[in-house]
């Protein structure tokens, strides 16, 4: 039985990945900064909380990382931990940079120093590309990060690439574009939109306050994207992949579709709040997943309209 360690198992992607690995017969271990205090809402929602062996581990503490990895001796490590909000990274730049870049470096150093044959997946982000003038970004597109979060993810990406080349580690990065699900925390804008629209449809008197709604994003379905993570580590050679749907829409269109699905006119409820604008932001984000399709056999089946519908159905089923 193969063993997999998911670092950041308490998040959306960690929960869906754990579900996939369990179904494939893996023994799954999950690491969180404080396993006794973390809610593990995602694992519980998927009904797999009792099937994952949970450990407390601080990514920025090298000793903690080393002890956990050496105790488990995993065949595969998936790292998706660290401060994950672009907006919050402007308020907490140091914590963002340390948790993502230093955390990744600590894992790589353990694998290098102890000469482990563990395969390593690093969760990178489309935010690293910055603005690409509307062009679809692929694995050769230069990074132009526009937030502390994107700077941190870019740093982690190049650390992985360097250790792969310098020490022959099986270390890969998945450069994932936006991917959503009902497991998204409320601070993510997609969850905020869906939840507000559903509450309005049920008679609550609310308004939806958003910043810049003209930004465009490539939105996909999180369970599909975590399947791509697994496929990346099953390849004979380590390399990096862009994971995306290849289609984008504006945030305002996302709002319009969400409200229209519930029989509402979004213009009656949307308010623009300049305080929610970020200091810098990406105008248009779009991914080119052709390499993933060619090599991994992976292609997004669900488009943003499907994602919105599934998130709404899940939200309404709570009541």
* Beta-carbon count within 10 A of 297 CB: 8
Measure the CA–CA gap between 215 and 213, rounded to whole angstroms: 6
pLDDT in tens, the chain (319 residues): 999 999 999 999 999 999 999 999 999 999 998 877 778 999 999 999 999 999 999 999 999 999 999 999 999 999 998 887 888 889 899 999 999 999 999 999 999 999 999 999 999 999 999 999 889 999 999 999 999 999 999 999 999 999 999 999 999 999 999 999 999 988 899 999 999 999 999 999 999 999 999 999 999 999 999 999 999 999 999 999 999 999 999 999 999 999 999 999 999 999 998 888 878 788 999 999 999 999 999 999 999 999 999 999 999 998 6
Measure the CA–CA gap between 148 and 259, rounded to whole angstroms: 32
Clarify whether 147 is annotated catalytic: no
Class of residue 17 by CB neighbours under 10 A (exposed 0-12, middle 13-18, buried 19+): buried
At residue 82, the pLDDT reads: 83
Write down the domain spans for the chain: 3-179+220-243, 181-218+247-285+302-316
State the Rg of the chain over Cα: 19
Q: Token pair for residue 160? A: 């992985």
Clarify whether 89 is annotated catalytic: no
β-bridge partners, 27:
3
Q: What would the CATH number be for the domain defined by 181-218+247-285+302-316?
A: 3.90.25.10
Say how many Å lie between the first and final Cα of the chain, rounded: 40
Clarify whether 125 is annotated catalytic: yes
| Catalytic, out of 149, 224, 252, 258 | 149
Class of the 3-179+220-243 domain? alpha beta
| Catalytic, out of 76, 127, 180, 252 | 127
Task: Look up the pTM and report it.
Answer: 0.94
Torsional sign, CA 109, 115, 120, 126: positive
| Catalytic, out of 125, 126, 258, 285 | 125
């Amino acid at each position: 039985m193969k063993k997999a360690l998911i670092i950041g198992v308490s998040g959306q992607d960690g929960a869906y990945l754990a579900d996939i690995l369990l179904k494939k017969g893996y023994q799954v271990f999950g690491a969180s900064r404080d396993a006794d205090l973390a809610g593990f809402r995602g694992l519980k929602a998927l009904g797999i909380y009792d099937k994952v062996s949970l450990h407390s581990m601080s990514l920025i503490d090298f000793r903690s990382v080393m002890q956990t990895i050496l105790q488990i001796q995993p065949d595969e490590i998936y790292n998706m931990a660290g401060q994950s909000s672009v907006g919050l990274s402007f308020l907490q730049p140091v914590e963002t940079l340390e948790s993502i870049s230093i955390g990744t470096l600590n894992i790589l150093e353990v694998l290098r120093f102890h000469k482990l044959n563990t395969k390593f997946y690093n969760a990178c982000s489309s935010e690293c590309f910055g603005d690409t003038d509307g062009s679809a970004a692929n694995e050769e597109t230069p990074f132009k990060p526009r937030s502390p979060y994107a700077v941190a993810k870019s740093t982690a990406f190049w650390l992985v690439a360097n250790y792969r080349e310098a020490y022959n580690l099986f270390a890969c990065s998945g450069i994932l574009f936006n991917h959503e699900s009902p497991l998204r925390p409320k601070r993510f804008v997609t969850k905020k939109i869906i939840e507000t629209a559903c509450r309005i449809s049920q008679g609550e008197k609310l308004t939806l306050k958003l910043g810049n709604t003209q930004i465009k994003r490539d939105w996909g379905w999180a369970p599909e994207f975590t399947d791509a993570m697994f496929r990346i580590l099953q390849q004979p050679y380590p390399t990096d992949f862009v994971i995306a749907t290849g289609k984008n829409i504006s945030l305002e269109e996302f709002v319009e579709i969400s409200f229209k699905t519930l029989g509402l006119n979004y213009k009656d409820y949307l308010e623009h709040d300049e305080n929610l604008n970020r200091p810098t932001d990406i105008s248009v984000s779009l991914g080119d997943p052709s390499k993933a399709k060619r090599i991994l056999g992976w292609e997004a089946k669900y488009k943003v309209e499907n994602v919105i519908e599934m998130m709404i159905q899940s939200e309404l089923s709570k009541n």
